[in-house]
Structure 1
Amino acid sequence: MTAYTLGIDVGGTFTDLVCADESGHLEIEKVLSTADNQALGVLAGIEKLASTYGVRSVDLLSHISVIVHGTTVATNTMLEYNGAHTGLITTAGFRDIIEIRRNYKEAAFDIRLPAPHPIVPRRRRLGVTERIDVAGTIVKPLVEDEVREAVRRLAAMEVEAIAVCYLFAFLNPVHELRTREIIRETLPDVYVALSSEVLPQVREFERLSTTLVDAYVTPRLRRYLQRLETDLRARGFRGELFIMQGNGGVVGVERASRHGVQALLSGPASGVVAGAHLGHRSGFKDVITIDMGGTSFDVCLVQDGRPKIGTDQWMSRYRVAVPFIDIHTIGAGGGSIAWVDEGGALRVGPESARAHPGPACYGFGGQVPTVTDADVVLGYVNPESFLGGEMRLNADAARHAILTKVAHPLGMDLLQAASGIFRIVNNVMSNSVRQVSLAKGYDPRDFALTAFGGAGAIHAGALVESLGIRTILVPKNTAPMLCALGDLLSDLRVSRVRSFHARSSTVDLTTLNALCHRMGSEAEEALGTQRSHLQGITTQLALAMRYVGQTHEVTVPIASRNGVVGTAEMTAAIHGFHTLHKQLFTFNKPEDEVEILSLQLDLIGIRRKPVLRTVPYQGIDPRAAFAGKRSVYSSLAQDFVETNIYDGNRLLAGNVVEGPAVIEEKATSIVIFPGQRAVLNEHLTYVIEVL
């Protein structure tokens, strides 16, 4: 057998696998996710993949050199609030920062909005005497007996993790380091998260919140990864196992297990990486990626081939300020539930039917209508060929659910209700695209839309109508598994953020470069033995900047020359800040002084990746792939119209498909609406143009 690399992405509904051989040939599989133990779904997918190759799973695993895994364990832990029994040790008098927050509610006028779920209740938040000032000087020594008493109390509460967050510990971590030593004297098996390691930068609430989230999710993620690696090794896997991170890079299992907060949103991040790669191959460096799966809708803006990186993510109403790909996520997927609210209005999401019981059409006992049920009723999804015919859908159950739960309560007929579900979820998703584009100073008409996920290509053609986007990119065959392919296309990435306070007129470049050097050395050390397998290493730097007197900053890239930031590079970064500020907020003040708050360094280790195939053009005529006609809903006619159906497996590079049409593939459908035309290019990507 040849050597393989395997990408695995676990979503809320499906687990996707993409296996690449040395020639770049891809085999794809999709199985239902197993929420209680994601490893079971992963192993079931490997078994199914092995049967596709006609070999035993042990033989396939023994020939896989690299597995890259994107998991939702950390994300689901926060969404479901089922993380570790966590305690907090902090500076006396400051244990309520996590509840005081920024002193404002997310929805100021919603008097019914409850407080966030306490991942660490007040009884498990304990203060001890110590104090470090704004200069990093010890004002009050750490009272170690108080730490030991706090540990004793937390031990009595049977905590599994302890977060330690002292004031200004990012300037001087000596007290936090000593506290960890004391904790390990009594509780050697408890996970300890230090704020000076998780997020060593200014702002107490952000640092505390991020550290608490890390303590809360890491034990569960660590157990899952250990169990998965053990199971894979027992089944013959001898290669390297990498874990996807929310910053768009991968790390080894051991490093992924150190700080679980880095694994949040790792699945969507890999999709963005693949979407950017796909756009670049097809000649589009500026793209907006949309990933519509079974549970969520994830959207990200990619400019000049680079996804936007941010540090202002929220997860289940907790601030997570480590660097992540800037992805906007909402509860709008194929499994999103359609319902009628108290005022008699039709709503869709954010609740999802997930894999079990799933949409009504799955036949697993689901009784509520979902987006997938509407897609089946409208003819966009063929119930006979779902997942290549391996899973037949029950169209009657979909119709019954929509009739009883939506149509009858609203006095509508079936077609009005199903098209209403389709239209509403599209409006919600369009607004999300505007959030990452118009709301941040970008015109979506300047971007192509890269659509993937199981339902992305079904809805993309309708989304662009209200956004003014003229081009849609959909990868052939891999669209529903693009996150798994993105795992294989991702590089090793170590992100570091450090507080660096200065003003543009007096910034000390010697101090800045010394900090860059220290951070770079830490990041290189983090690569460990994996460095020997890399094809190269690159470094990216950015500064968090604002005008003096502002309370929030924007992140601006800064160049370096042979690893050194000079006057010219700093001047260019400051100019870039003024430009970006005007783009984001419609004004700037070039004459005002700029304040620098922190330095971000990303060390990127270039991995060997599968070389995706390019195929020759075979002509424009798609008739060889014609599979008949089917009644499909048309919003223009507001009725069903006879529509051409094409077998995606038989479409060749160069084939042109005029809308209205539906291209059916194993795990998705590509809907070409009236006034649109699809061309399959040499990179096996459907380029859909709005005429």
Structure 2
Amino acid sequence: MAYALGIDVGGTFTDAVASDGVDRIVSAKTHTTPPNREVGVLRAIEELAAELGVEVGELLAQTDFIAHGTTASINALVQGTVADVGLIATKGHRDSIYIMNAEGRTLGRSAHEIQDTLRQRKPAPLIPKYRALEVTERIDHAGKVLVPLDEDEVRRVARALVEQGVEAIAVCLLWSFKNPDHERRVRELVHEVAPDLYVTLSSDVSPRIREFARTSTTIMNAQVGPRLRTYLEPLRRQLEDGGLKGPLLVMQSEGGTITAERAPEHAITTIGSVLSGGVIGGLRLAEQLGHRNVITTDVGGTTFLAGLIVDGEPLMAPGSIVNQFPINAATIRVHTIGSGGGALASVDAGGNLRLGPRSAEAVPGPACYGNGGTRPTNTDANLVLGVLDERGLLGGRKPLRKDLAREAIREHVAEPLGLTVEEAAIAIHEVQNAQAGDLLRRAVVQAGYDPRDFVAYAFGGAGPAHCAGYCRDLGVREVVVPLGPVASAFSAYGLAASDVVVSAELSDPSTFPVDPAVLEAHYARLRAELDRALNRQQVKFQDVVLHREVDLRYSMQVYELSVPVPDGAFTERTGQEVLDRFEEQYERINGSGAGYREAGVQAITYRMRAKASLGFPVALPEIDEADGPDPSAALLERRPVCLDSQIGYAPTPVYDYSRLRAGHEIAGPAVVDVPTTVVVIPAGVLGRVDRLGNLVMSYQ
């Protein structure tokens, strides 16, 4: 028997899924174990083996691959626990990372924050200036060498940085994306001085025009690369020593995996690895259910995440922003806020109830865990409201204490607001729904789409408890809660169901459309790079699908849109078809009639992505059908639950998910208990179990 494993290491829980590729999928959920997160990973694998009834060594020996999503990279950047990095730049250009292209005060800020000019601040620099050094060289915009590289100067600079104790060096030279020879020689010279030092080149990590974004991406890659290597190498060795024969793969932000050996070289591509897993899981489920447009919503212990699938493909972005610094790495567009099950509730100086962005995380966790946490969270509120039962989480292996939850809410929310504990708890619950609903509305509408054209998928440990509430005002057709064998480990399922994805890009600013021969040359070069990258993965592929795109903008504008380039040979018609797609996309985002082709269009960056299938089927199995819609055989109990502040506590039917079958219907208000989560069906909502064991909710 062969298996595929997906492991999602979140801030609070580590989720895992194993599939035999035929008819069996099992899942497991354990606590994340910072700072030694590999401990939680190994525990999750042990639980998978127990579910399958095999020894751990037997499971690993029969595993084709493990796809792993980790928060290690993004957490390191956000929290500042990164490697000490030195920068080598072209003489006269080191300050680009500090000048920040005059956009440092506004990057990553909301429209409201941008308008508040008095409070705008640049972020702290990525590295201190004394670790940003320069070397003599110059290449022009066409890639021609104007000034040779001063190799003796490079050696002196490298020694100076090593003496400062840097753990990695980022190299970003002017116009290196047109000619990388000087950067590659710098790496060779640095390794003469320090053979084992981590060195990353902008021409490898971010071969795009725009010096500031390219430099920030390269520095951040150097900041997280050594830490990712320190995490992955011991984990890989432990798995191999335990019997793993297949590769350990790491999810990237763009929704595909690379081998753990290659991941540290391109560490910046893994910052959204956990975020991408849920969207890929949603994509696989949508293929089974026949949905083309899906809003994926994932409420974990720390964050609320929202992604879009449009016309059967994840909505992508050419980059992202972390801590007000741009990252040039293609990514599935995922919107996030710190509003998960462990989000801390508090009252600010103005007497307003706040939920998040800080989280109780895995340690100490919500107050009700009894691990020393004293601050109230969304989980504590749901326990007080009766949504969660004191029997606890993880199938009863994690008992919950309502007395500690009540005390935390009383001290930090109820008394400061002059409310009862119950009133404070329902306020926390409703703030969670409101924050999630606002994020969803922005994610869909700002992308130029109508929520009424979408189905929502809701997963994560806390998502099913809130989804009917935060989706109510969106106007979506229905909400699907993936349960069955994956339940709250849905992101891990997405990892197990993922493909290997590699991408390549090059910048060549010019007026568009260009000569078809130019397009042919550009994409032939990118295809050659992808072939080399795929060969380095050292895994077997069933098939490879290529996707081409180009970043276009109107002349004199500063932001581009990524536009698909049609398959097939390049002709004069190709350029016109791409322009039509560009204007259609531009007007969808900015309004009908906003396009103005007469201004001229510029191509900036060409990109190609290869999606290589591992050939492992990870479809969800169908479940038994019920004799009729009546779910009374699955009724577990009736307990007091507060789902509406106007109604208060009311005896509410609670159903045991394990007894539900396809075709059962549950009219709200009701609660469905699942070993790793709980589903809330409010009044006016009908829940129906579909053929895959999902609970599909529709508004009456």
SS of the residue aligned with 1:332? coil
8 A contact 2:288–2:619 mirrored in 1: no
The CA deviation at 1:319 is 1.1
Residue 7 (structure 1) aligns with: 6
Asked if residue 333 in structure 1 is aligned to residue 340 in structure 2, the reply is: yes
SS of the residue aligned with 2:265? coil
Asked if residue 633 in structure 1 is aligned to residue 642 in structure 2, the reply is: yes
Which residue type is aligned with residue 480 of structure 1?
S
Which segment drifts farther, 355-364 or 476-485?
476-485
Residue 16 (structure 1) aligns with: 15
Cα distance in 2 between the residues matched to 1:298 and 1:525: 34
Residue 176 (structure 1) aligns with: 183
SS of the residue aligned with 1:200? coil
The CA deviation at 1:616 is 4.9
What aligned pairs does 1:138-149 form with structure 2 within 5 A after superposition? 138-149=145-156
8 A contact 1:557–1:573 mirrored in 2: yes
Among candidates 310, 319, 323, match of residue 326 of structure 2: 319
8 A contact 1:560–1:569 mirrored in 2: no
The CA deviation at 1:565 is 2.7
Residue 186 (structure 1) aligns with: 193
Instruction: Provide Cα deviations, 1:85-125, integer angstroms capped at 9, x if missing partner.
Output: 11000012222222211314134436556542433211101
Among candidates 577, 582, 585, match of residue 577 of structure 1: 582
Cα distance in 2 between the residues matched to 1:401 and 1:110: 38
The CA deviation at 1:683 is 2.1
Residue 499 (structure 1) aligns with: 507
Among candidates 668, 674, 699, match of residue 690 of structure 1: 699
Residue 100 (structure 2) aligns with: 101
8 A contact 1:615–1:683 mirrored in 2: yes
Among candidates 643, 665, 678, match of residue 687 of structure 2: 678
Which residue type is aligned with residue 275 of structure 1?
G
The CA deviation at 1:56 is 2.9
Instruction: Provide Cα deviations, 1:111-167, integer angstroms capped at 9, x if missing partner.
Output: 556542433211101112222222222222222222111111101011111000011
Which residue type is aligned with residue 501 of structure 1?
P
The CA deviation at 1:636 is 6.1
Residue 132 (structure 2) aligns with: 125
The CA deviation at 1:345 is 0.9
Residue 110 (structure 2) aligns with: none
Which residue type is aligned with residue 158 of structure 1?
G
Cα 1:482/1:204, change in 2 over 3 Å: same
8 A contact 1:544–1:555 mirrored in 2: yes
Cα distance in 2 between the residues matched to 1:434 and 1:203: 32
SS of the residue aligned with 1:102? helix
What aligned pairs does 1:370-385 form with structure 2 within 5 A after superposition? 370-385=377-392
SS of the residue aligned with 1:600? strand
Which segment drifts farther, 415-424 or 543-552?
415-424
SS of the residue aligned with 2:101? coil
8 A contact 1:206–1:319 mirrored in 2: yes
Residue 612 (structure 2) aligns with: 605
Residue 492 (structure 2) aligns with: 484
8 A contact 1:560–1:566 mirrored in 2: no
Cα distance in 2 between the residues matched to 1:111 and 1:333: 31
- Alpha-carbon RMSD: 1.6
SS of the residue aligned with 1:437? helix
The CA deviation at 1:647 is 0.5
Residue 39 (structure 2) aligns with: 40
What aligned pairs does 1:123-522 form with structure 2 within 5 A after superposition? 123-477=130-484, 478-505=486-513, 507-522=514-529
Among candidates 566, 571, 581, match of residue 566 of structure 1: 571
Cα 1:569/1:382, change in 2 over 3 Å: farther
The CA deviation at 1:196 is 0.8
Cα distance in 2 between the residues matched to 1:668 and 1:541: 40
Residue 69 (structure 2) aligns with: 70
Instruction: Provide Cα deviations, 1:328-379, integer angstroms capped at 9, x if missing partner.
Output: 1111101110111111111111000101000001110000001111111112
The CA deviation at 1:631 is 1.3
Cα distance in 2 between the residues matched to 1:381 and 1:97: 52
Which residue type is aligned with residue 575 of structure 2?
M
Cα distance in 2 between the residues matched to 1:650 and 1:615: 11
The CA deviation at 1:468 is 2.0
Structure 2 regions of 5+ residues with no counterpart?
107-112
Residue 532 (structure 2) aligns with: 525
Cα distance in 2 between the residues matched to 1:134 and 1:530: 33
Cα distance in 1 between the residues matched to 2:597 and 2:658: 56
Which residue type is aligned with residue 400 of structure 1?
E
Cα distance in 1 between the residues matched to 2:496 and 2:46: 20
Asked if residue 651 in structure 1 is aligned to residue 660 in structure 2, the reply is: yes
Which residue type is aligned with residue 622 of structure 1?
P
Structure 1 regions of 5+ residues with no counterpart?
none
Instruction: Provide Cα deviations, 1:402-445, integer angstroms capped at 9, x if missing partner.
Output: 01100001111112211111111222211211222111211112
8 A contact 1:281–1:683 mirrored in 2: no
Residue 25 (structure 2) aligns with: 26
Among candidates 672, 681, 687, match of residue 663 of structure 1: 672
SS of the residue aligned with 2:535? helix
8 A contact 2:88–2:170 mirrored in 1: yes
SS of the residue aligned with 2:356? strand
Residue 87 (structure 1) aligns with: 86
The CA deviation at 1:290 is 0.7
Cα distance in 1 between the residues matched to 2:613 and 2:538: 9
SS of the residue aligned with 2:371? coil
Cα 1:6/1:114, change in 2 over 3 Å: same
Which segment drifts farther, 678-687 or 579-588?
678-687
SS of the residue aligned with 1:101? helix
Instruction: Provide Cα deviations, 1:622-673, integer angstroms capped at 9, x if missing partner.
Output: 1111111111113263411111111011110111111111111011011111
How many residue pairs get aligned? The number is 687
Cα distance in 2 between the residues matched to 1:670 and 1:584: 35
Which residue type is aligned with residue 198 of structure 1?
V
SS of the residue aligned with 1:202? coil
8 A contact 2:423–2:645 mirrored in 1: no
TM-score, length of structure 2 as denominator length: 0.96
Cα 1:143/1:307, change in 2 over 3 Å: same
Which residue type is aligned with residue 482 of structure 2?
P
Instruction: Provide Cα deviations, 1:175-228, integer angstroms capped at 9, x if missing partner.
Output: 111111110100111111111111101111110111111011011101211110
Cα distance in 1 between the residues matched to 2:197 and 2:537: 28
8 A contact 1:451–1:479 mirrored in 2: no
TM-score, length of structure 1 as denominator length: 0.97
SS of the residue aligned with 2:637? strand
Cα distance in 2 between the residues matched to 1:635 and 1:468: 20
The CA deviation at 1:593 is 2.1
Cα distance in 1 between the residues matched to 2:404 and 2:645: 27
Which residue type is aligned with residue 421 of structure 1?
I
8 A contact 2:262–2:537 mirrored in 1: no
Using the aligned pairs only, state the percent identity: 39
8 A contact 1:6–1:67 mirrored in 2: yes
Which residue type is aligned with residue 588 of structure 2?
Q
